[in-house]
């Protein structure tokens, strides 16, 4: 019981991250997500790389982390945003791909059928995460000026 109390006192839910972090994790993230953390993306219009940065300054993020860890831990610090939980579920599913396929084959499915079942199960996880209907929607056929007459 003491270990869980200690562990809970060492983490805080950081809304910016979407999951609980230790002070050390938060401080490492500051360097990666601050406006000073510059990366580059290719701009095809001008055919060169342009700098991109975060949305908050290093000092703003540092202050945010200080405020986060200045308060006592509470039960909300163990929460995970739904979007992060969905990503973790998909990652766990992907890590168990081989076992999933082996289990399908042990039920008598061929390798191709097992792979198809895996893809269908993965698609179901994605549909649930994106709040999409269980069945694919019909795509309407639209005829333009270039359609055959």
Give the Cα separation of 139 and 149 in Å (integer): 21
Q: Which domain holds residue 33?
A: 2-79
Q: Are residues 74 and 7 in the same domain?
A: yes
**One domain for residues 40 and 105:** no
Looking at the fold, whether 26 and 89 belong to one and the same domain comes out as no
Non-local (6+) Cβ contacts of 128 within 8 A are 86
3-state helix, strand, coil in the chain (%, to 5): 55, 15, 35
Please state the domain count of the chain: 2
CB 81 within 8 Å of CB 90: no
DSSP single-letter state for residue 34: B
Q: Which DSSP string do the residues of 39-53 spell out, in sequence order?
A: EEEEETTTTEEEEE-
CA distance 42 to 78: 38
Task: Report, as an integer, the average pLDDT of 115-144.
Answer: 83
Residue 93 has pLDDT above 70, yes or no: yes
67 and 51 in a common domain:
yes
End-to-end CA distance of the chain: 76
The per-residue pLDDT for 144 is 63
Q: What number is the average pLDDT over the span 139-147?
A: 64
**Three-class secondary structure assignment of 64-81:** HHHHHHHCCCCHHHHCCC
| Cut 0.75: pTM above it | no
């Amino acid at each position: 019981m003491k270990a869980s109390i200690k562990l809970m006192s060492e983490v805080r839910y950081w809304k910016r991250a979407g999951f609980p972090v230790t002070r050390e994790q938060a401080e490492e993230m500051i360097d990666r997500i601050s406006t000073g953390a510059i990366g580059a993306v290719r701009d095809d219009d001008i055919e060169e790389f342009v700098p991109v940065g975060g949305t908050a300054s290093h000092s703003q993020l540092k202050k945010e982390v200080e405020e986060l860890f200045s308060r006592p831990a509470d039960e909300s610090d163990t929460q995970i945003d739904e979007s992060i939980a969905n990503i973790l579920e998909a990652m766990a599913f992907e890590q168990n791909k081989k076992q999933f396929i082996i289990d399908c084959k042990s039920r008598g499915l061929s390798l191709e059928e097992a792979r198809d079942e895996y893809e269908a199960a993965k698609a179901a996880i994605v549909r649930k995460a994106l709040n999409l209907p269980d069945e694919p929607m019909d795509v309407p056929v639209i005829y333009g000026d270039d359609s055959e007459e």
